[in-house]
Every structure is written in C-alpha cells, then in structure tokens.
Amino acid sequence: MIKKIEHLGIAVKDFEKSIAIYEKLFQTPCYKIEKVESEGVNTAFFQIGESKIELLEATKPESPIAKFLEKKGNGFHHVAFETDNIEGEINRLIKDGFELIHQTPKDGADNKRIAFLHPKSADGLLVELCQEKSE
C-alpha cells in the first residue's frame, strides 16, 4: 500500500550551484549527498517538514538523468511514494496493468529499495516506489 509522498526528484545540471540555491531557499543544509553508481547519479537530499526534495546530477552521459537534462533541462523529474511492501506493490501494479521499469526492487539512495513505473503507465509521470531498507 502506498503510504505517502516520500520525496520529489529534481534533475540539475550544476550540482554545487543547485545545492547552494536550495539551501538558501529552504534555509537548511542538505542532509545527505550520495552517489548511486547503478543509476549514474549524485543525489542531495533536503528535509522540509515531513517532505523531502532530492536533487539529481548525472555522473555519466548515458544515465537516465543525463538524457532527461539533455531533452528538458533542469526541472521536476519524478515523484517517489513510500510503501512498506515494495514487492507487494510491484505485483499489484503489474496485475493492474502498469508497466514497470524495474520488476524487482534495487538499491537506491537514502537507505531505500526502489522501483520505477514507466511514465506511459502513469499518465506521463515518472513514479518511484521506495521502501526503507531493513537493518
């Protein structure tokens, strides 16, 4: 079951510049910077009340973020929803006819297991499912 919006992802070309802008905007430092090798991105997270913002910078020219930035430039990239049973959500969505980019969860940033739905299945929106990794 989807519990809440976990974070909003924003693709950025100039990571350091964007971090500085968002730190000023939110009046708080980013709480984590992390490289996710499998996705070809650097991530920076901001906690704003119960919400999180994730900045995404491409680390390889063939990464999905690099392709997104090439086509669209800086901007909103995805919405991530938290679940407490990512495998169950993946199975439910497949049964309901959604196309997934990842049919099994993989490791993501910020101590999460993740899977993405294809945008054509979600009315043009890239949707990420995420679940906190258990210890």
Residues 6+ away with beta carbon under 8 Å from 66: 40, 58, 60
Please name the residue ranges forming H helices in 1-135. Answer: 15-26, 64-72, 86-95
Q: Give the helix/strand (H/E) hosting 8.
A: strand 2-11
Token pair 């000023």 in the structure block, residue = 24
Whether residue 37 is predicted with pLDDT greater than 80 in this model: the reply is yes
Q: How far are the Cα atoms of 2, 17, 123 from residue 38, in angstroms, in the given order?
A: 25, 24, 26
Strands 106-107 vs 75-83: parallel, antiparallel or unpaired: unpaired
- State pLDDT tens for residues 71-101: 999 999 999 999 999 999 999 999 999 999 9
Angle at 25 between CA 20 and CA 31, to 5 degrees: 60
pTM to 2 decimal places: 0.92
Mean pLDDT across the chain: 96
Whether residue 135 is predicted with pLDDT greater than 70 in this model: the reply is no
